[in-house]
Structure 1
Amino acid sequence: MRYAGIVVAGRPARRPSGVDERAPAVGGKPLLARAIHALDGAERVIAVGPRRPGFDVVWTREPVPGTGPVAALAAGLAFVPEDVEAVAVLAADQPGVRRSTVDRLVAAVGGADGAVLVDAAGARQWLLGVWRVAALRAALPEDLANAALRRTLGALDIVDVPAEPGETDTPEDLDRPS
């Protein structure tokens, strides 16, 4: 299945220390770079957020910056090529995401509207999924600002894909003592 990728890299997410969590490196690679690298199989990668130097992607912003992931998703969809049928949607701050994560999600979609990673507790990780472009466009609410991603995507036909160890880790998980 041919797919594009959207990385939701909106407002700089801050750790308690005040540092932009997309800037620090994990395993020698910035978090944003890890998300972009996970999309190596994509026809095009769109990053939604403030432009950051050094990344060969299409950059865009939501019409009103900071109005949430649904608005960011809509902004990214505007740059998805017409000839791809799916889009991988990733948060920029997921250090455990990798190309194999995206490959498993793409393979899982089948005839469904999308496939989403599910963590060990059974929670769907809405910003770690692959979705059919037509289903995403149809699901977008008229008012995008501050719309809930779970509510927007939750009614779609979704395949749950169990996360492998570490795939759904957050920067906060990595900051916790072992």
Structure 2
Amino acid sequence: MGAGLLESFSAVVLAGGRAARLDGVDKASVELDGRTLLAHALDALVDAAEVVVVGDPVPTERPVTFTRESPRYGGPVAGLLTGRDALLHPTPRLAVLAVDMPRVTAATVRRLHEAAAGRDGAALVDPDGRRQLALVLDTARLDAVRPGHEEQHGAPLHRLLAPLDLVEVAPTGHEHRDLDTWADLRDL
């Protein structure tokens, strides 16, 4: 893959959920392997020209913009579109990553970019074929299918993405795993 493609993407990290099954803790601050989940996510997006984190501000070593969807806890569609709107310099491609996917790496994001060539984007899937919150999207196509602000809150992500031509990318190792419970943290 040419370096030009990697230089032309921005990213949104979705970190604003309730984490109900984790007793409401801020997932971005949860530690795995001695590092926060946000640090893992930012490592995966190291090639991004700009990163917006949709969630409460937490300490980070990398320059990012923090924002919140309004109203709070609007779900992944509201978070994704809020993050996209907070970009200072939107790019042709947008990477989207849930903060609770610590096994996604920069190599994963590069594979998604490669797979997305000539399509509206690419989505990481689990071994059963279910889409995960690790995506690369064509920003213009996302903008073309976005609902109005009042329709974003609580909207299912699959409905937003349904009109897009997305290629599904199989996981390598455990990169498809997310962390929803304390047992998930132990198992990762």
Matched residue SS, 1:78: helix
Matched residue SS, 1:34: helix
Q: Displacement, 1:155?
A: 2.2
- Note the alpha carbon deviations across 1:66-100, whole angstroms, 9 max, x for none: 11111111111113355620000000111211111
Q: Displacement, 1:54?
A: 2.6
Matched residue SS, 1:120: coil
Who is 2:103 aligned against? 96
Higher helix fraction (1 or 2): 2
Who is 1:175 aligned against? 186
Who is 1:64 aligned against? 71
Who is 2:44 aligned against? 38
Who is 2:168 aligned against? 160
Paired residue type of 2:66: W
Matched residue SS, 1:112: coil
Q: Conserved in 2, the CA contact under 8 Å of 1:11 and 1:50?
A: no
| Alpha-carbon distance in 2 for matches of 1:93, 1:47 | 13
Counterpart pick for 1:11 among 17, 30, 35: 17
- Note the alpha carbon deviations across 1:25-61, whole angstroms, 9 max, x for none: 2122111111111110001000011111235201111
| Alpha-carbon distance in 2 for matches of 1:128, 1:30 | 18
Q: Which runs of 5+ in 2 are unaligned?
A: none
1:109 aligns with 2:116: yes
| Alpha-carbon distance in 1 for matches of 2:76, 2:90 | 24
1:150 aligns with 2:158: yes
**Would you say how many aligned residue pairs link Structure 1 and Structure 2?**
176
Q: Displacement, 1:152?
A: 0.6
Paired residue type of 2:52: I
Q: Displacement, 1:118?
A: 1.1
- Note the alpha carbon deviations across 1:85-144, whole angstroms, 9 max, x for none: 00000001112111111111111111110100011111111x101000011111211211
Paired residue type of 2:67: T
| Alpha-carbon distance in 1 for matches of 2:178, 2:153 | 25
Moved more, 79-88 or 59-68: 79-88
How does the TM-score come out when normalised to structure 2? 0.86
Classify 1:12/1:36 alpha carbon distance in 2 versus 1 (closer, same or farther; 3 Å): farther
Q: Which runs of 5+ in 1 are unaligned?
A: none
Moved more, 152-161 or 75-84: 75-84
RMSD of aligned C-alpha atoms? 1.8
How does the TM-score come out when normalised to structure 1? 0.90
Matched residue SS, 1:22: helix
Q: Displacement, 1:162?
A: 0.6
1:23 aligns with 2:23: no
Identical counterparts, % of pairs: 39
Paired residue type of 1:167: E
